[in-house]
Chain A
């Protein structure tokens, strides 16, 4: 299964995300989910970034909140709305939102 997971919260939904696995897993940080990629809580990168997955973060939602692409770890790809549409239609078969 090729599964894309939209993560739009910062402090909730992690338990569900931990349980999900897929042959190809993509995690797309949108809305307040961008803090997973942009913030180091107590100096440590967010644990979700340890997961075996492809990570994406929506550029527009980063910029709204005062962050930019240079503040995102190298394993997270910064994408636009158009890129997200391409991911949905071309890269993943199923989508969930947590």
Chain B
């Protein structure tokens, strides 16, 4: 049995740990299979919506905070083949473009690409999930 878990990130990065927790939980769910029985699995999806799309901005530099960036977390997620979706309406509303967002982890050797999709497509993906988690 596959449990599909949707991680919906609507929080801005850094002021709280919400979005970082979402990404780390989503990434961790890729390794949880060692605890599962045969035939069981967990399939995560990540949706960045509302202000949450800011988590995927390129050129983040958190040296002065002494923490890793949400840019790196996003890339790590893609490296581990997490499906990551940005809400198209929010990307456009906030004046962002595909060029300004992390869309792949090519530099780390990842194959998965993030996608900018309409909220309707995100809702369709959420409808297929067993559990929804909003951060």
Check if B132 is an interface residue, CB within 8 A of chain A.
no
With A32-B15, A60-B64 as contacts: A66 and B95 at CB distance below 8 Å: no
Establish whether residues A64 and B95, one from each chain, have CB atoms under 8 Å apart when the complex forms.
no
Cβ < 8 Å to A, chain B residues 94-130? 94-95, 100
Establish whether residues A68 and B12, one from each chain, have CB atoms under 8 Å apart when the complex forms.
no
Partner of B14 from A32, A39, A43, A67 at Cβ < 8 Å: A32
Check if A11 is an interface residue, CB within 8 A of chain B.
yes
Count of A-B contacts judged by CB separation below 8 Å? 51
Check if B58 is an interface residue, CB within 8 A of chain A.
yes
Complex Cα–Cα for A85 and B62 (A):
21
Check if A41 is an interface residue, CB within 8 A of chain B.
yes
Query: CB-CB < 8 A to B59: which residues of A?
Result: 63, 66-68
Query: CB-CB < 8 A to B94: which residues of A?
Result: 39-41
Cβ < 8 Å to B, chain A residues 23-81? 31-32, 35, 39-43, 60, 63-68
Establish whether residues A64 and B14, one from each chain, have CB atoms under 8 Å apart when the complex forms.
yes
Closest residue of chain A to B59 (Cβ to Cβ) is A66
Is chain B's binding surface mostly helix, strand, loop or mixed? loop
Complex Cα–Cα for A52 and B120 (A):
41
Query: CB-CB < 8 A to A31: which residues of B?
Result: 14-15
Complex Cα–Cα for A42 and B95 (A):
7
B interface size (C-beta, 8 A): 20
Partner of A32 from B12, B62, B64 at Cβ < 8 Å: B12
With A10-B51, A35-B54 as contacts: A65 and B93 at CB distance below 8 Å: no
Establish whether residues B15 and A64, one from each chain, have CB atoms under 8 Å apart when the complex forms.
no
Residues 5-41 of chain B, each 1 if its beta carbon lies under 8 Å from chain A, else 0: 0000000111100000000000000000000000000
**Chain B residues at the A interface, C-beta cutoff of 8 Å:** 12-15, 51, 54, 57-62, 64-65, 69, 71, 93-95, 100
- Could you pull out 29 A-B pairs where Cβ atoms are within 8 angstroms? A10-B51, A11-B51, A31-B14, A31-B15, A32-B14, A32-B15, A35-B12, A35-B54, A40-B94, A40-B95, A41-B93, A41-B95, A43-B95, A60-B64, A63-B59, A63-B60, A63-B61, A63-B64, A64-B14, A64-B62, A64-B65, A65-B14, A65-B54, A65-B57, A66-B54, A66-B58, A66-B61, A66-B100, A68-B59
